[in-house]
């Protein structure tokens, strides 16, 4: 399968630890197929920050055709590869991997206790005016058993909350265009499968390029799912130092939108 590199540039905020790798976008190209859009953006003795391309699995799936994944490539290269959290195959963006079982447990606990701050970018159908206020989607999610692996908002599902904030319109389309889109910043407060995609479909603004939840006319707006894990912030479990990382695909946001998305306090 071809993975969408999207010409990802390195765009990382400063933090207290010195990078163990050069700031030219990751590891030795001989170790990782950077042509597939993978980049080890930062690492120390305990963990690594990795850029996952759209179209690549985070972990192995079922069947021999689903064994090529980000964790396997990192392991093959001798890099931190112990899984802490996952991104959908179609989603791109920042992921953390642990170097040891102890660090994996500590990071997993931090995620479970909501001590890791996460922010995503999405381009959704429809027009939502830019705002400085966060809105909440509070809608329970469950498996859509007749249509597995799809998920659905339904009474009796697992409690699920997502914060969203409009950054402004997609500049490729006029606001009154029937195919207009809006850039959103998203902060999941829970971690359900397909949560962001299901919640945005639920409020009538599915994500462009979503093969699972968007109608055909919205799916056709983009060659990939326009969802990217843009920001991660956490306290380093081993050192206690504050880490804050950010990556935005080139060409996704205007300079003003990008500054707004980067500067939002947690």
Catalytic residue among 88, 132, 177, 263: 88
- Radius of gyration, CA atoms only, the chain: 18
Q: What's the pLDDT at 178?
A: 57
At 170, give phi and psi (nearest 5°). Answer: -65, 125
Q: What's the pLDDT at 229?
A: 97
Whether 240 has a pLDDT exceeding 80, the answer reads: yes
pLDDT averaged over every residue in the chain = 86
User: Which listed CATH number (3.40.50.300, 3.30.200.20, 3.30.2350.10, 3.40.50.720) goes with 119-219?
Assistant: 3.30.2350.10
CA angle 117, 85, 108 (to 5 degrees): 75
Query: pTM to 2 decimals?
Result: 0.86
Domain ranges for the chain, please list them.
119-219
Least confident of 36-45, 159-168, 200-209: 36-45
Average pLDDT over every residue of 44-65: 92
Please enumerate in sequence order all residues whose Cβ is within 8 A of that of 194, keeping only pairs 6 or more positions apart, or say none. 88, 141, 150, 151, 212, 213
Q: What's the pLDDT at 23?
A: 34
Task: Show the tokens assigned to 120.
Answer: 């995503």
Q: What is the pLDDT of residues 212-237, one digit of tens each?
A: 999 999 999 999 999 999 999 999 99
Q: What's the pLDDT at 26?
A: 40
3-state class of 54 per DSSP?
strand
Q: What's the pLDDT at 13?
A: 34
Q: Look up 88 and say whether it is catalytic.
A: yes
């Amino acid at each position: 399968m071809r993975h969408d590199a999207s010409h990802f540039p390195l765009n990382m905020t400063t933090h207290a630890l010195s990078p163990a790798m050069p700031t030219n976008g990751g590891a030795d190209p001989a170790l990782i197929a950077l042509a597939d859009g993978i980049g080890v953006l930062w690492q120390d003795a305990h963990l690594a920050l990795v850029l996952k391309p759209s179209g690549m699995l985070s972990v192995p799936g079922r069947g021999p055709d689903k064994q090529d994944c980000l964790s396997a490539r990192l392991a093959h290269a001798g890099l931190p590869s112990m899984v802490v959290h996952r991104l959908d195959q179609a989603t791109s963006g920042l992921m953390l991997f642990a170097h040891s079982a102890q660090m994996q447990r500590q990071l997993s606990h931090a995620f479970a206790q909501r001590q890791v701050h996460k922010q995503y970018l999405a381009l959704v159908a429809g027009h939502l005016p830019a705002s400085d206020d966060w809105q909440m989607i509070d809608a329970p999610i469950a498996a859509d058993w007749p249509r597995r692996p799809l998920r659905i908002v339904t009474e009796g599902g697992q409690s699920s909350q997502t914060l969203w904030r409009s950054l402004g319109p997609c500049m490729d389309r006029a606001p009154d265009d029937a195919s207009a889109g809006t850039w959103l910043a998203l902060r999941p407060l829970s971690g359900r499968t397909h949560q962001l995609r299901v919640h945005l479909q639920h409020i009538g603004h599915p994500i462009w390029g979503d093969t699972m939840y968007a109608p055909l006319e919205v799916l056709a707006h983009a060659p990939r799912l326009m969802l990217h894990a843009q920001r991660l912030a956490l306290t380093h479990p081993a050192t206690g130092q504050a880490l804050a990382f950010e990556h935005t695909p080139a060409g996704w946001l205007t300079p003003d939108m990008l500054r707004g998305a980067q500067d939002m306090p947690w």
